[in-house]
Structure 1
Amino acid sequence: MILSLCPNPSIDSYAWLNKLIPGESNRITNIKEYPGGKATHIALALAELGSESMLYAFWGGSSGEWIKKQCLKKGVYTNGVNLLDNNRKCYTFLSDNKSFNNTEILEPGPSLTKKNWEDFKLGYIRLIEHTTILCMAGSWPKGVSSNTYAKLIQIGKSFGKRTILDCTGKQLHNALEVGFFGLHLNEHEAKSLCGSTSMEDLLQTLSGRVELVALTRGSKGLELFYKGKLIVANVKIEGMVSPVGSGDCLTAGIAYAVDKSFSPSKIAAYGVACGAANCLNEDLGMLKFEDVNRLLPQVEVKEITYEQ
């Protein structure tokens, strides 16, 4: 089983707007809601790929119950800690007006108590022995320390489990202090971390702390470093619907392929195919198995000479 940790799940909404005028009433003409949060997308993608997938999270109020029900419908087992306050909502605005099309507005989510965190940690420890890989992604609600991911990674390492992480800021910096298996980040996040978007500079910064590095470059594809190999992979797609959640689906593809002990080139291909498949689907942060299988043979994979 692959366990995905989502500290701050959400209800993600597509909201259609004809116009957005500051200071005036703006009416949403249509809305569609989906289970959200970075690790939620990862867990959903893994289930679609055929993995046994569990989502571990803080479940807030009626919003949390709704998210759990939607995940169960799609074959994702859920577990975690229940909260009184509702989980957050996140909006992606769609419009013919390109100035704000695909604009996202994200609520902060509920606040956590010390007991909430302790219950979460204990439940996580009980689940670890049944997992093969841990995926941790996204922000934390208020009320936890900036080294919370680091603590969970350390616990995972004590059980011999590998963690793939997708987060930013102090949580990432503190996680790097303890080291972990895999990191997914985009160009903006790479520049914040090491002052450069160069994979070579990034690998120097991460040297000895991370085994697998996945650097995504949007339409330019993926650079993946693993087992001493630097792989560049990309695939061309037509009819893109929405890129929202494609990075999370890419993480899921990598986790799936690592769990299957695939080669670095095949891991990169699965990551790219899953990220691209998400772009073809109207449902936010979700992919379809048939799209992944169709795209896989089309992924262009190239190994780059890299001297450490």
Structure 2
Amino acid sequence: MILTVTANPALDVSYRVDKLRPGHTHRIGAVFERAGGKGFNVSRVLHDQGVPTRALGPVGGILGDSLRADLLDAGLPHDLLPVAAATRMTIAVVADEATMFNEPGGPLSAFDWSRLHDLVRSYLPRAEVLVCSGSLPLDAPDESYADFVALAAKFRVPTVVDVGGAPLRAAAQAGVAIVKPNAEELAAAVDDDDPLVGARELRSLGAEAVVVSLGADGLLAATPDGDWRATLPRPVVGNPTGAGDAAVAALADGLRRGLTWPERLRLAVTWAGAAVAAPLAGTVDPDVLRDLYDQVDIAPA
């Protein structure tokens, strides 16, 4: 199975409005609530595509109870660790585009970090790939995901990490199999605005492969088999919130199955585009999924 770790979960709340007008009262057309956090979104996409997965993460407080109930209702295999820190909330206001409001996560104690490590360790003998995805809680060490990379390596399990800044750099130095930042997260890690230069730098630090999300411009990848660009035939209109998570799910599945890098990138950019067309993060539009796959352009970067 593919094991996912969400270190900083959230209850995701989405409001749909006709138009976002700062300073005005809005009538909400529709409200959606679900267990959120990048790792949970990755597991949702994998589960929907028939890929065995289990989602792990720390939860606390009333919102933690709501998050747990949603995962149970969705039938998503999971194991949530009760902790003292309260689970946070994120709010997306969706009109013509999505406007995000993300609360910070409460700090995890050293004891709870140790318990989370023990939980991950208990599942690694059954895992084919480990995914560590999303922001870290307040006061978490930059090496938090790197420590999971090293832990998984003891079980010969490759790791995919989706994070930015210093934690991204630390994961690369730990010898991660794949990192998947967006361009902004990559620039914060390497202090260079050129995505290809930054991706190559992370590879020089120890990452086996670096895949950079470029939004509507697709994916850029620096891999052991060369540098690649993957682009969709046309832009997909919708909510881009979960596109990166769908790409991570595809990369993890491609790693699990031993696909070539062009095949992995074709899968990743297709799942990302289909996620934009879906109403909520963690889902993909099946019609868009079928329509896009054979039209993706893969070319050397």
Q: Same fold (TM over 0.5)?
A: yes
Alignment partner for residue 158 of structure 1, among 132, 154, 178? 154
Query: Do 2:68 and 2:80's aligned partners in 1 also have CA atoms closer than 8 Å?
Result: no
Query: Do 2:131 and 2:159's aligned partners in 1 also have CA atoms closer than 8 Å?
Result: yes
> Any gaps of 5 or more consecutive residues in structure 1?
none
State the AA in 2 paired with 1:29: I
Deviation at 1:289, TM superposition (A): 4.5
Deviation at 1:151, TM superposition (A): 1.4
Which shows bigger deviation, 249-258 or 12-21? 12-21
Secondary structure of residue in 2 paired with 1:210 = coil
- Per the normalisation by structure 1, the TM-score is 0.89
Which residue in 1 is equivalent to 2:267?
A: 270
State the AA in 2 paired with 1:153: V
Aligned equivalents of 2:236 and 2:208: distance in 1? 35
Alignment length (residue pairs): 298
- 1:215 maps onto 2:238 in alignment: no
Alignment partner for residue 170 of structure 1, among 166, 173, 180? 166
Aligned equivalents of 1:85 and 1:147: distance in 2? 20
Distance 1:95 1:289, change over 3 A: closer
- 1:90 maps onto 2:87 in alignment: no
- 1:128 maps onto 2:124 in alignment: yes
Query: Do 2:199 and 2:222's aligned partners in 1 also have CA atoms closer than 8 Å?
Result: no
Secondary structure of residue in 2 paired with 1:185 = coil
Aligned equivalents of 1:124 and 1:43: distance in 2? 15
CA deviation digits over 1:136-172, x for unaligned, max 9? 0111222532221121111111111111111112222
Alignment partner for residue 189 of structure 1, among 185, 197, 212? 185
Which residue in 2 is equivalent to 1:180?
A: 176
- 1:149 maps onto 2:145 in alignment: yes
Q: CA RMSD in A?
A: 2.1
Which residue in 1 is equivalent to 2:110?
A: 114
Distance 1:165 1:255, change over 3 A: same
Q: What fraction of aligned residue pairs are identical, expressed as a percent?
A: 20
Secondary structure of residue in 2 paired with 1:287 = coil
Query: Do 1:188 and 1:197's aligned partners in 2 also have CA atoms closer than 8 Å?
Result: no
Deviation at 1:207, TM superposition (A): 1.3
Aligned equivalents of 2:233 and 2:183: distance in 1? 20
Aligned equivalents of 1:4 and 1:156: distance in 2? 12
Secondary structure of residue in 2 paired with 1:12 = strand
- 1:105 maps onto 2:101 in alignment: yes
Aligned equivalents of 1:239 and 1:202: distance in 2? 25
Distance 1:291 1:60, change over 3 A: farther
Q: How does 1:229-268 map to 2 (within 5 A)?
A: 229-237=226-234, 240-268=237-265
Distance 1:176 1:230, change over 3 A: closer
